[in-house]
A = this chain, B = another copy of it.
Amino acid sequence: MTLENAWPELDNVLGDRVTRSKPELVAHGASESYFPLTLPEAVAYPESTEEVSALVRICAAHDVPVIGYGAGTSLEGQAQAFSGGLVVDFARMNKVLEVSQADMDARIQPGVTREALNEDLRATGLFFPVDPGANATLGGMASTRASGTTAVRYGTMRDNVLGLEVVLADGRVIRTGTRARKSAAGYDLTGLFVGAEGTLGLITEMVVRLHGQPEAVSAAVCAFDTIGDAVRAVTDTIQIGIPMARIEFVDAASVAAVNAYSGMDMPLKPHLLVEFHGSEAGVAEQAESFGEILADHKGRGFQWAVTAEDRKALWTVRHHAHWAILAGRKGARAVVTDICVPISRLAETVEATQADLEAHGIAGPILGHVGDGNFHAILLFDPDDPAELDRVKAAADRMVTLALKMGGTATGEHGIGIGKKGFMPREHGEAWQVMGQIKQALDPKGVFNPGKLAPDAK
């Protein structure tokens, strides 16, 4: 069957809000990553759970794939329609439905972006902490189990989604979780749909956890001679129990790119950037204690700052890194890959990755969330040189092989999509087949996001 058979029914339910116009297909066929433009057959803009349920029933009846779409910022092809089908864009389901200050939670539609949510929360004294960098939608962030710089303190989407409304492959609508903070009542379905990349259902509503805006924030930056010194400073800090809100690592190549891009002259060494959230006295004490630990690990040029302006200056290197690195080579694109390893193996993993990239002549600055053992390499390639893309992808594959050898995972936060599906059997062994059994149980016809994450239907 094809979309053609489903079209009259879709048109009947959604009218103008389902389209096959070429610009719409193109807009939903691209990727921020290296995957080729791949047009879906149609794009829908539902406005309600009922519409999502209806369109899923129609597509299921006609064997049309259904692919959820948020802001299109995922990095492993999660939102691309590689098997054709209908892309469901949640742009019109973007309302903050309810904020409870006492419960410190919000009920929202999946198309709300994290910046929009935080804008909405500004007057409440609360905020939503998960920050993957891009201004992604919360539905997309839940689906890819996003995290980012603040995960070391506030957790990932796994920790910050309390409940979901989900449309299943047969059109049924379920609710998972409650407004209670915790529950021991049955299987953790919320946790099952978070990170499922839209292969088990479409999220149509969510309850997310909010946090109090800190009374005070301090930030610090420090250079190190070696990555090992930087990582050891972080493990000491964690063990001593200094509660870091962010702890980021940038390598010397990233610093060089930012120096060139932003006219700075930071020393060409690995750096740590850290942020503390708490009371006035608390963040001052934390920054000072951190400074003492740094001294034990040959940290150099330690600076700390509490004013918003000074903090912003300190964080420039991290905030500009992605664009600075891309700007460092004219016309280049990048494979942005991420792996996550036990923190005890982080230093050697970063060092081995740098050595491997150098040996293969690949420009790939490294930066990441050192408190989680999660780091990114931004592997540059010339989009007109397929051979270079192949070399870069091979390097990214070696990074994953290394991560698995270290007892880590193929991806800390970018997810699987199609980009890392080949590693699933190696990371999970027989457990990947169990994922397949769950996929088969909940989506036996393979309606949702076919070809991604789960084993292909037999």
Contacts and interface: CB of A to CB of B under 8 A. Distances in A.
A292 to B, nearest CB: 12
Contact of A409 (B180, B214, B429): B180
A48 to B, nearest CB: 18
A264 B29 CA distance: 71
Contacts of A437: 441-442
Nearest to A343: B103
A203 interface: no
Interface residues of A, number: 96
Total identical chains: 2
Nearest to A442: B437
Nearest to A437: B441
A175 B430 CA distance: 8
Contact of A151 (B145, B178, B182): B182
Contacts of A31: none
A267 interface: no
Contact of A195 (B186, B212, B240, B424): B186
A150 interface: no
Given A187-B435, A277-B241, A341 B180 contact: yes
A440 B105 CA distance: 34
Contacts of A181: 340, 342-343, 372-374
A147 interface: yes
A342 B179 contact: yes
Interface string A174-208: 11101111111111110110111000100000000
Contacts of A416: 184-186
B240 A215 contact: yes
A453 interface: yes
B282 A340 contact: no
Interface string A405-420: 0011111111110001
12 contacts: A102-B342, A103-B342, A104-B238, A156-B182, A168-B434, A174-B429, A175-B429, A178-B342, A185-B427, A187-B192, A192-B438, A282-B282
